[in-house]
Chain A
Amino acid sequence: MSQATAVREQAGRKIGRSAVIEQGAGDPAWLRARRAEAWDIYEATPLPSTRSEEWRYTDVARLLALDGLVPTAGGAMAGRALPDGLRRAMEQDRESAGRIVDVDGSVVSVELDEALAAQGVVLSSLREAARAGVPEVEALLATEAVPASDGKFSALNAALWSDGVFLYVPRGVRVDRTIRLSRWVSQPGTATFTRILIVAEELSQLSFVDEILSPDFSTVTLANTAVELFSRAGAQVQYVSLQRMGEGGFYLANQRTLAERDSTLDTLNVALGGSVGRVDLNARLLGPGANSDMLGLYFGDANQHFDFNTSQDHVAPNAHSDLLYKGALDGAARGVFRGIIRVHDGAQGTDAYQTNRNLILSDTAIATSLPNLEIEADDVRCSHGATVGQLDAEALFYLMSRGLHREQAERLVVLGFLGEVLSKLPLGGVVEKVTQAIKAKLRYV
């Protein structure tokens, strides 16, 4: 099907019950029921308002006219040639163990190393996995991690998701090279609903990079993602999100990580593109010895608006979590970080840290940082800290006194500041790619 026909066919669609039913055509009964239930929850849930603490700084009612968006349909884009922007981004990638490509909410290709497939690793379109009756999908899709009951957008996603990724790594299997998802949104004014479900069985290991790109749009274009990450006992999981959408892009992600005993579940959220980016990340430490490093990096200019809402839930004793989010803001960009560490009753021996640092590069950029603690156990080590600062005049003078022009000096300081985050998760290719993207952005500063 050509791109034009696909768009024409979708053009009449609206976010509503009939789109949910249409989306579910061909789904197994349990999934159709789950979609319908999610839609009921969506309808019963009010749109988050700035009166609520968690949405105070992101006025979705003003920024996002849901009624006017055209939800994309799964399978609509299969088989067409990859857009140039996506192809270029993919060419920068290093070798990977597997790769899945998604255009406008439909998986268009899946590749997985044959040796891994032989060991039982599954990398698949989520829609196909659900339709093929994979038991983990029925058990874990929108149930334990990001259920519809989580909120307005989780419900909307659970009702309308068109496709996504299912990745399963069996017990003891170690996937050394990264598995990549490359996503592209091409149509202005659309709403794309994607889900990522990753299960790392006991003692397995994987790293997953989720990159989303788009051209610039003249109208608001929504990419909504629900990310469900399970690391079973002793597993090691790294998840990276690279948000590099164009202007007009509205990125809205709900991520939840469930880390069981002695497992590691690390995340990195990089926000460079789009007009609005909102990420809700909840890390749950469910077993003793679980560990989550949570990293974030954002660099906004013009009117970009990034909002991170994170929580570290220490449910089990003797678990460790460490969050570091760093952002640079230029132009009239706005950065919001709201983070909470919750140490549940009985979670003795918790080690939980949270740091948010912002670098303001202009008079009109704004950073808001709201770190928080809620502790119901007594034997814990917790700390949180937030800073909002400007470029250090001494540092700039130092660099300029060696001959660097002011812009070069500023660029180096910003790169160094943000680079600290990348140095903590040295995943093959990610550091270079993000550094390149930051450099490209700094050129316009």
Chain B
Amino acid sequence: MDDSPILVVTGLEAGVADEDLDILKGVDLAIGPGEIHAIMGPNGSGKSTLAKLIAGHPGYEATGGSVEFDGEDLLDMEPDERAQAGVFMAFQYPVEIPGVSIANFLRTALQSRLEDGEELDLFDFQELLMERMELLDMDVAFAQRPVNDGFSGGEKKRNEILQMAVLKPALALMDETDSGLDIDALQIVARGVNTLREEDPAMSVLLITHYQRILNHITPDVVHVMVGGKIVESGGPEVALELEASGYEEYRKAHAA
């Protein structure tokens, strides 16, 4: 396996597009193929902003630094191009799309990955969708429901992982997918992620979370702590355990100083 990192974030500074608001203040991060990185950090420290920047949210703008994915400059690409290249973000707050069924949406998403003139095999698609729903313990009737419309918080999160499992990304950004999941759902989601990694050992994961618990199921290679728009510490799984015990106070003080 080629071990050069799939994602390289260098000195990334970013804020809200068209506004004078700095959120990320020089983030450095490199994720190798097959690695799992977790980012923890207090509310408002910039975790979601980092994920959205990588996914290409038009509301955020890089003002310095770079983001490279598989050797290519991501910041130059449209969100759909990034997705096609293999980036996937499970949203912290999934968006409701009234009137568009999950099945229709995912079929279009897969179709968009094919060459012009190539048609998605609907039978294969149906089979994949059913298999993935089973993996995530989802009722098949779900596929006909409009995307996130009227879903419970946990259903929305599970739906994010369903999309990830169907689209099979090279890099999965999971923004607080564990928040709002019950204990069983958390295990099911973790099983989904681990199954995908078994199928594709090169799949990398950047997992944003507030809770150490999910890291018992999805074991991270590296845990980062983000405070005030910067990564202030990186280490092994023990970093998460220490945070659980002592909180962010130490980091905040150091950051403020």
What CA separation (Å) do A423 and B144 show in the bound complex?
13
B98 contacts A417, C-beta separation under 8 Å: yes
Q: From A393, A401, A408, A418, name the one whose CB has the most chain B CB atoms within 10 angstroms.
A: A401
Contact partner, A413, options B57, B78, B100, Cβ 8 Å? B100
B112 contacts A401, C-beta separation under 8 Å: no
Please, which residues of chain B bring their CB within 8 A of the CB of A413?
97, 100
CB under 8 Å from chain A, chain B span 110-145: 110, 112-113
Please, which residues of chain B bring their CB within 8 A of the CB of A406?
78, 80
Check: B167 CB closer than 8 A to any chain A CB.
yes
CB distance from B257 to the nearest CB of A (A): 37
Residue total for A at the interface (Cβ-Cβ under 8 A): 25
Given contacts A393-B59, A405-B80, contact A398 B97 (CB under 8 A): yes
Interface string of A396-421 (1 = CB under 8 A from B): 01111111111011001101111110
Please, which residues of chain B bring their CB within 8 A of the CB of A392?
95
Stretch at the interface among B7-15, B83-91, B239-247: B83-91
Closest 5 CB pairs of A and B: A416-B99, A403-B83, A416-B100, A398-B95, A419-B99
Check: B108 CB closer than 8 A to any chain A CB.
yes
Check: B94 CB closer than 8 A to any chain A CB.
yes
Given contacts A393-B58, A397-B57, A397-B79, contact A405 B97 (CB under 8 A): no
What CA separation (Å) do A55 and B97 show in the bound complex?
35
B56 contacts A412, C-beta separation under 8 Å: no
Q: Which residue of A lies closest to B166 (CB)?
A: A402
Residue total for B at the interface (Cβ-Cβ under 8 A): 32
> Could you list some 25 contacts between A and B, CB below 8 A?
A395-B97, A397-B95, A399-B109, A400-B56, A400-B79, A400-B83, A401-B56, A401-B79, A401-B82, A401-B88, A401-B89, A402-B83, A402-B105, A402-B106, A402-B109, A403-B80, A404-B109, A405-B80, A406-B80, A408-B108, A409-B80, A412-B108, A413-B97, A416-B99, A420-B99
Q: Which residue of A lies closest to B89 (CB)?
A: A401
Q: Which residue of B lies closest to A420 (CB)?
A: B99
Contact partner, B95, options A394, A405, A412, Cβ 8 Å? A394
Given contacts A393-B59, A412-B108, contact A403 B99 (CB under 8 A): no
What CA separation (Å) do A416 and B147 show in the bound complex?
10
What CA separation (Å) do A420 and B101 show in the bound complex?
12
Check: B55 CB closer than 8 A to any chain A CB.
yes
A403 contacts B167, C-beta separation under 8 Å: yes
A399 contacts B98, C-beta separation under 8 Å: no
Q: Which residue of A lies closest to B86 (CB)?
A: A403
What CA separation (Å) do A401 and B58 show in the bound complex?
11
What CA separation (Å) do A226 and B238 show in the bound complex?
77
A412 contacts B105, C-beta separation under 8 Å: yes
Contact partner, A415, options B56, B94, B100, B112, Cβ 8 Å? B100
Check: B43 CB closer than 8 A to any chain A CB.
no
Interface string of B54-81 (1 = CB under 8 A from A): 0111110000000000000000001110
Q: Which residue of A lies closest to B106 (CB)?
A: A402
Name B's A-contacting residues (CB within 8 A).
55-59, 78-80, 82-84, 88-89, 91, 94-100, 104-106, 108-110, 112-113, 146, 163, 167
What CA separation (Å) do A408 and B112 show in the bound complex?
8
Other contacts beyond A401-B83, A412-B105: 7, CB < 8 A = A393-B59, A398-B95, A399-B105, A400-B78, A401-B88, A404-B108, A416-B99
Q: From B55, B79, B110, name the one whose CB has the most chain A CB atoms within 10 angstroms.
A: B79
What CA separation (Å) do A401 and B160 show in the bound complex?
12
Please, which residues of chain A bring their CB within 8 A of the CB of B58?
393, 397
CB distance from B247 to the nearest CB of A (A): 32
Please, which residues of chain A bring their CB within 8 A of the CB of B108?
404, 408, 412
Please, which residues of chain A bring their CB within 8 A of the CB of B106?
402
CB distance from B154 to the nearest CB of A (A): 18
B163 contacts A402, C-beta separation under 8 Å: yes
Q: From A394, A413, A423, name the one whose CB has the most chain B CB atoms within 10 angstroms.
A: A394
B57 contacts A416, C-beta separation under 8 Å: no
Please, which residues of chain B bring their CB within 8 A of the CB of A416?
97-100, 146
Please, which residues of chain B bring their CB within 8 A of the CB of A409?
80
Please, which residues of chain A bring their CB within 8 A of the CB of B91?
398
Please, which residues of chain A bring their CB within 8 A of the CB of B112?
403-405, 408
CB under 8 Å from chain B, chain A span 261-300: none
A415 contacts B79, C-beta separation under 8 Å: no
What CA separation (Å) do A324 and B130 show in the bound complex?
35
CB distance from B104 to the nearest CB of A (A): 7
Contact partner, B113, options A395, A400, A403, A418, Cβ 8 Å? A403
Q: From B83, B100, B163, name the one whose CB has the most chain A CB atoms within 10 angstroms.
A: B100
B94 contacts A398, C-beta separation under 8 Å: yes
What CA separation (Å) do A404 and B57 show in the bound complex?
14
CB distance from A208 to the nearest CB of B (A): 26
Given contacts A394-B95, A397-B58, A398-B94, contact A403 B109 (CB under 8 A): yes
Please, which residues of chain B bring their CB within 8 A of the CB of A400?
56, 78-80, 83
Please, which residues of chain B bring their CB within 8 A of the CB of A412?
97, 100, 104-105, 108
Q: Which residue of B lies closest to A392 (CB)?
A: B95
What CA separation (Å) do A415 and B100 show in the bound complex?
8
Please, which residues of chain B bring their CB within 8 A of the CB of A395?
95-97
Please, which residues of chain B bring their CB within 8 A of the CB of A419?
99-100
CB distance from A175 to the nearest CB of B (A): 29
What CA separation (Å) do A281 and B113 show in the bound complex?
46
Q: Which residue of A lies closest to B149 (CB)?
A: A416
Q: Which residue of B lies closest to A393 (CB)?
A: B58
Contact partner, B99, options A398, A405, A418, Cβ 8 Å? A418
Please, which residues of chain B bring their CB within 8 A of the CB of A404?
80, 108-109, 112
CB distance from B153 to the nearest CB of A (A): 16
CB distance from A404 to the nearest CB of B (A): 5
